[in-house]
A and B are shown apart, each in its own frame.
Chain A
Amino acid sequence: MIGFRVVKSGILALVQDTGRLGYQHLGVTRGGPLDAKSAYWANRLLDNPADAAVLEITAGGVELESRTQTMVAVTGGDLNLTINGKPQVPWQSFWIRQGDRLKFSTPRYGFRAYLAVSGGLQTKPILGSRATVQRDHLGGIHGNGEPLKVGDELPCKHLAEEEISRQIPQQYLPQISQNITLHLIPGYQQHLFSKAAWQQFWGSEFSLSTHSNRMGARLSGPALETPKDTLLSEGVSYGAVQVPPDGQPIIMLEDRQTLGGYPKLGNILPLDGFVLAQCMPGAKIRFKPLSLAEGQQQMRRYLRFFGL
């Protein structure tokens, strides 16, 4: 089954689905799209199941040539998409014929685009998931965690007939910004941090470091006072904000290691993590507190909307 041939592999393009569930106790990372909401929208535009595999394109530079005919949908950040050289507005679905060229270049706004195809990308699942996790050497086109390479073939299904192109209603388009506020639910070892450290944390503006990746968003700003005690490693959940000895917070994301030993202030709201995924290095980040109940209510609304 051939769907798309990779003409240009870009900076980082990874096949992602909802991730490897149930293996964290063996050290296997979950993976999954960093901006899951955009990935869900891309699948919804095509009536795909929510967990269908999509392509996550970070910072652009990807060119694909179609070897089949199918419907595709593009969401997430605007990476100046062109189809056969013609500029296209994202957040809609398109009919693609054999020989068509899809090109994602540098970001106009946002940082990560999501490309869904009708029926989902058909790479081989490993441990129940197609998610590509580079550090675990699992998933992706070759099953070994490698990102897209020139000459790779992305398998997908052939669609017999053209379907109607759909767009996402204006009110649902994401607010992409490079100046954001993240909601933090205090928890974990919040008591280990001094009052001064907390004041500094809530009152400071951080910027997103160029060393950020799918494991963690590294922030740079004033160095927070860190607890002196060393901790035994323990499970790290999504969105945990950990503070290593240099006082610069790291927000743990989908490719985080399963165990970690740095003290944590709490966790960001996952919905805010999706906004963070669209930030470029240098973006300005502030924090404000959120109660667990309010965070859970917001997540309930989001999951219900996508029928999850």
Chain B
Amino acid sequence: MSSTEQFTTRPEVTFAIAGVDALLLQFDQQLDPCMPGFLANIRQTIFREHGDVVQEVVPSYASLLVYYEPRLVRTYDLQQLLEVVVNDTPWLCSVWSVDTEAPGKLVEVPVWYFPEGHNTAAVNDMAAICKHTGLSQEEVVAEHSGIDYQVYALGFAPGFAYLGRVAERLEMPRLAKPRQNVPAGSVGIAEQQTAVYPQASPGGWNILGLSPFQWFNPNTEPMTPVQVGDRIRFKAISEAEYKQLLQAQGGQS
């Protein structure tokens, strides 16, 4: 992340070729709380107005990857159509940066935060986090669960939600060497971001707890309980509560 400041004006869009059937719309290289709502609106308008030639639109922090059918529209023509959509989409930054009026719903996610010297969890970085930040375990928990996070993007794995921004005092560099296997439900932090691993996978984030929250289920509608633009609030629970909640789900993951 190159910068942490917020935009005061709407960002400019640039177009990049991403292969024979994709265009990348880039807005800037900054983490901005107004961006997810702005991108969600653009995405919807693209499907509504150009759904005949556009197949998929993948949003991320400050970009949209648009997959199209090059046999139905010329790349340059599509770029002009998309430019119109972007320019017609309002930049509602001033409204959305106020928490109470933020777009999307607020979802509570329970977390069993590890004690510093917990040995039963195979992957526990709480001690390293305390050491690096100079905070006590209680302070780390208070910092992590004390603010609401915006869902900036879904990706990496089904239902993996990139959340930000993490309090500055809690910022941690990624692990120098990523782990081969991080257990499902692990709650991690890296730089300005935090996330929960929906399933066991390799990963390079610092792990501070476990959550029983289900992020993805292909048999439910919607498949992901949170969408880009929603907000997340972590709630500290005990080890016993964690195990109880996990059991209540009947091990469906």
Q: A residues engaging B (CB < 8 A)?
A: 21-29, 126-127, 135-138, 185-189, 229-240, 257-259, 266-267, 269-270, 292, 295-296, 299-300, 303
Query: In the complex, which of the residues A126, A188, A269 contacts B16, with contact meaning CB atoms closer than 8 Å?
Result: A188
Judging by beta carbons under 8 Å apart, are B17 and A292 in contact?
A: yes
Judging by beta carbons under 8 Å apart, are B17 and A187 in contact?
A: yes
Q: Tally A-B pairs: CB < 8 A.
A: 143
With known contacts A135-B157, A237-B19, A303–B71 Cβ distance under 8 A: yes
Complex interface bits, B27-70 against A, C-beta within 8 A gives 1, otherwise 0: 00111000000000001000000000001111111111101001
| A235 CA to B60 CA, complexed, in Å | 7
Cβ-closest chain B residue relative to A232:
B61
Apart from A26-B216, A187-B24, A235-B24, 7 more pairs, CB < 8 Å: A25-B56, A26-B159, A232-B30, A235-B155, A237-B67, A259-B58, A259-B153
Judging by beta carbons under 8 Å apart, are B20 and A296 in contact?
A: yes
Cβ-closest chain B residue relative to A293:
B75
CB of B2 within 8 Å of the partner chain: yes
Give the Cβ gap from B157 to chain A, nearest Cβ, in Å.
Answer: 6
B20, B70, B156, B160: residue with the most chain A Cβ atoms closer than 10 Å: B20
Chain B residues within an 8 Å CB radius of A25:
43, 56-59, 154, 228
With known contacts A25-B57, A25-B58, A233–B155 Cβ distance under 8 A: yes
Report how many residues on chain B are interfacial, defined by Cβ distance under 8 Å.
46
Chain A residues within an 8 Å CB radius of B56:
21-22, 24-25
Judging by beta carbons under 8 Å apart, are B19 and A26 in contact?
A: no
Judging by beta carbons under 8 Å apart, are B154 and A235 in contact?
A: no
| A266 CA to B1 CA, complexed, in Å | 22
Chain B residues within an 8 Å CB radius of A187:
16-19, 24
CB of B97 within 8 Å of the partner chain: no
Query: In the complex, which of the residues B29, B55, B156 contacts A22, with contact meaning CB atoms closer than 8 Å?
Result: B55
With known contacts A21-B56, A24-B58, A235–B160 Cβ distance under 8 A: no
| A258 CA to B18 CA, complexed, in Å | 13
Judging by beta carbons under 8 Å apart, are A234 and B199 in contact?
A: no
Chain A residues within an 8 Å CB radius of B155:
24, 27, 233, 235, 257-259
Chain A residues within an 8 Å CB radius of B26:
234
CB of B242 within 8 Å of the partner chain: no
| A258 CA to B1 CA, complexed, in Å | 19
With known contacts A25-B56, A138-B218, A258-B58, A299–B20 Cβ distance under 8 A: yes
Give the Cβ gap from A14 to chain B, nearest Cβ, in Å.
Answer: 18
| A26 CA to B43 CA, complexed, in Å | 13
Cβ-closest chain B residue relative to A295:
B20
Judging by beta carbons under 8 Å apart, are B60 and A292 in contact?
A: no
Judging by beta carbons under 8 Å apart, are A127 and B20 in contact?
A: no
A229, A231, A233, A270: residue with the most chain B Cβ atoms closer than 10 Å: A233
Judging by beta carbons under 8 Å apart, are A138 and B158 in contact?
A: yes
Chain A residues within an 8 Å CB radius of B30:
232
Chain B residues within an 8 Å CB radius of A28:
158
Judging by beta carbons under 8 Å apart, are B156 and A257 in contact?
A: yes
Judging by beta carbons under 8 Å apart, are A266 and B24 in contact?
A: no
Judging by beta carbons under 8 Å apart, are B20 and A230 in contact?
A: no
CB of B162 within 8 Å of the partner chain: yes
CB of B172 within 8 Å of the partner chain: no
Query: In the complex, which of the residues B20, B24, B201 contacts A234, with contact meaning CB atoms closer than 8 Å?
Result: B24
With known contacts A27-B158, A266-B17, A292-B20, A234–B60 Cβ distance under 8 A: yes
Supply 16 A–B pairs (Cβ within 8 Å), ascending by A: A24-B65, A26-B154, A29-B158, A126-B218, A136-B157, A136-B158, A137-B199, A187-B16, A189-B16, A233-B156, A233-B162, A234-B60, A237-B22, A238-B19, A259-B153, A267-B20
Judging by beta carbons under 8 Å apart, are A186 and B58 in contact?
A: no
10 closest A-B pairs by beta carbon, nearest first, are: A235-B65, A187-B17, A259-B155, A267-B19, A235-B58, A237-B22, A234-B63, A232-B61, A237-B18, A258-B155
Give the Cβ gap from B74 to chain A, nearest Cβ, in Å.
Answer: 9
| A140 CA to B216 CA, complexed, in Å | 18
Cβ-closest chain A residue relative to B67:
A237
Cβ-closest chain A residue relative to B43:
A25
CB of B223 within 8 Å of the partner chain: yes
1-27 of chain B: CB within 8 A of chain A: 1-2, 16-22, 24, 26
Chain B residues within an 8 Å CB radius of A138:
158, 218
Cβ-closest chain B residue relative to A28:
B158
Chain A residues within an 8 Å CB radius of B22:
235, 237-238, 267
Query: In the complex, which of the residues A137, A239, A259 contacts B156, with contact meaning CB atoms closer than 8 Å?
Result: A259
Judging by beta carbons under 8 Å apart, are B18 and A27 in contact?
A: no
Query: In the complex, which of the residues B19, B31, B61, B75 contacts A239, with contact meaning CB atoms closer than 8 Å?
Result: B19
Give the Cβ gap from A238 to chain B, nearest Cβ, in Å.
Answer: 6
Chain B residues within an 8 Å CB radius of A234:
24, 26, 60-63, 65
